[in-house]
Structure 1
Amino acid sequence: MTMEKSPGVEVEDREDGVRVLTLSNLARRNALNDAMLARLDAALEPAPHVRALLVRGAGGTFCAGYDLTHLGPPGEDGRLPDDILVDCLLKLERHPAPSVALVRGAAVGAGFDLAASCDFRVGAPETVFLMPPAKLGIVYSPEGLARATRLVGLSRAKQLFLMARKLDAREALDWGLLDACEEDAEARADALCATLAGHAPGAVSGMKESFGLLGRSSLGDSERARLRELRARAFASEDAKEGRAAFLEKRPPRFTGR
């Protein structure tokens, strides 16, 4: 067994072919920043010995989202603040090895989307899911909206994103956001990873890619450009600035529509 550690993500390769990716940013409840995403992206490079991925958070929390202190308006080059997140989660979603999210505690915003990017999600009784972009003045990525919609359906996805509805573990299981909810969630997730890693890797990766192609949306270039324009406008808005400030200051936001 080999193990590598970094300030934000721990990477462990087990002898059974399971690669374990542990988010570790305890001061911010495992909130993601660009350095952590770069580490995660590097760990998602396909390798012949990696037959399954286990994604989890340290310290009893899965992931509190994207670190809002690193989130601001679009760059002068047109890059959106969450482009690196979008790219990294697409890489996870399309990874040839199947993935399991061990979701203990909170999965908020980008943490929600990180779990949704995995093929399976195992939760614990204290698991909570929340998508707060409406409270932050942000138009969430179409990739993330599509993932949630595929998992829970359009009507429920609207409740999650437009109402910022919080789901406890029981509701998440009922809605199909969780595949299992166990007192010993770690053992269940480990067993699932071992099962996945024990199957024929070519068959598993081929079927996973097939499922991905079957579920992919077919937006045209003009539609994608329009969505990007909407997101850029939201990131640059006064409401987004106010939403971030209110969240960090733990007070209700005062939105003006500007």
Structure 2
Amino acid sequence: MAGSIAITIEQGIARLVLSNPDRRNAISSAMWQALSSFAAEAKGRQDIRAAILRGEGEKAFSGGADISDFDAARSDASGAQSYDDFVEAACAAVESLSCPTIALIRGACVGAGAALAASCDLRIASDDAFFAIPAARLGLGYDPRGMNRLLRAFGSQGTRQLFFTADRIGAQRAYEMGAIDQLTTTAEADDAAEKLARRIAENAPITLKAAKLGIRAAESGAQAVLAEARKATAQANASADYREGRLAFAEKRAPRFSGN
């Protein structure tokens, strides 16, 4: 099956590269599974402080779900539901990572690729990037569970525009909508993502985990997530990192956080 995800971890930063260049980095079933597997494994790791998700090359973050999977996996209503469950599980797994995630977007960010980018906490895009949701041109129903992440990124009106017109939204317009946190040139995009990831990785990971859970709880209103957020906040307040942060502040030096 076409496509893979290259994963490297160095100096606290995980880098995930969607690699299916012959199909504009379309995401195959194997790639969705790789994302879920990485998220499951990363939950227990203290050495991952931030993650960058990007597409191979400069032409596309992702052209969407690999349509070559559809004849086998999405040929009828039952298959479509199973496939949607698979995609939703992968996007939810990315959202559930305890470390902050950054989508680095260049070129096309389409369909399920846009959903995956919206699953990340922050988005950096080059000025040649564009977003589109072509579901209405394919006649397929879009899983309503995925709407929340697009609404968070593009807002109500932006999401309507994406779905109702199936037209492209350029990087500048997406930036004005708040879907993109930082807009760069193509040449500057890699460096911008690396700088942001390094800045995040310097901070206390327990605090970042608690903050992510707190944000998710506020957005979703889910009591289970709120309980997790309260637990994570209490752990941060009782952590060695909190003691280190106070000491470093008093000694006027950079803190050295261990994740404990």
The TM-score range, normalised by the shorter chain, is 0.7 to 0.9
Counterpart check, 1:9 vs 2:5 = yes
Compute the TM-score of the two structures, normalised by the length of structure 2: 0.77
In structure 2, do the counterparts of structure 1 residues 78 and 118 end up closer, same or farther at CA, with 3 Å as the change threshold?
closer
| AA matched with 1:25 | N
- Measured in 2, the distance between the counterparts of 1:114 and 1:85 equals 9
| AA matched with 1:32 | I
- Measured in 2, the distance between the counterparts of 1:146 and 1:165 equals 20
Query: What does residue 65 of structure 1 align with?
Result: 64
Matches within 5 A, 1:1-258: 8-15=4-11, 17-45=12-40, 46=43, 47-60=45-58, 61-71=60-70, 72-74=74-76, 79-183=81-185, 184-216=188-220
Tell me the secondary structure at the aligned position of residue 83 of structure 2: coil
Check the 8 A contact 2:3/2:25 in 1, yes or no.
Answer: no
- Measured in 2, the distance between the counterparts of 1:145 and 1:77 equals 20
In structure 2, do the counterparts of structure 1 residues 76 and 100 end up closer, same or farther at CA, with 3 Å as the change threshold?
closer
Tell me the secondary structure at the aligned position of residue 153 of structure 1: helix
Deviations along 1:59-105, one digit per CA (max 9) or x if unpaired, are 21110000112122357588432221110000101211110000011
| AA matched with 1:191 | K
Tell me the secondary structure at the aligned position of residue 62 of structure 2: coil
Check the 8 A contact 2:133/2:163 in 1, yes or no.
Answer: yes
- Measured in 1, the distance between the counterparts of 2:196 and 2:111 equals 25
Give unpaired runs (5+ residues) of structure 2. Answer: 223-260
Compute the TM-score of the two structures, normalised by the length of structure 1: 0.78
Check the 8 A contact 2:3/2:27 in 1, yes or no.
Answer: no
Aligned residues: 212
Alignment RMSD: 1.8
Check the 8 A contact 2:4/2:30 in 1, yes or no.
Answer: yes
Query: CA shift at 1:40, angstroms?
Result: 1.7
Q: Percent identity over the alignment?
A: 31
Query: CA shift at 1:125, angstroms?
Result: 1.2
In structure 2, do the counterparts of structure 1 residues 135 and 204 end up closer, same or farther at CA, with 3 Å as the change threshold?
same
Q: Which structure has the higher relative contact order (CA within 8 Å, separation 6+)?
A: 1
Query: CA shift at 1:163, angstroms?
Result: 1.5
Deviations along 1:95-148, one digit per CA (max 9) or x if unpaired, are 111100000110000110111000000000110111111111122122321111
Give unpaired runs (5+ residues) of structure 1. Answer: 1-5, 219-258
Query: CA shift at 1:55, angstroms?
Result: 0.0
Rg larger in structure:
2
Query: CA shift at 1:197, angstroms?
Result: 1.1
| AA matched with 1:207 | A
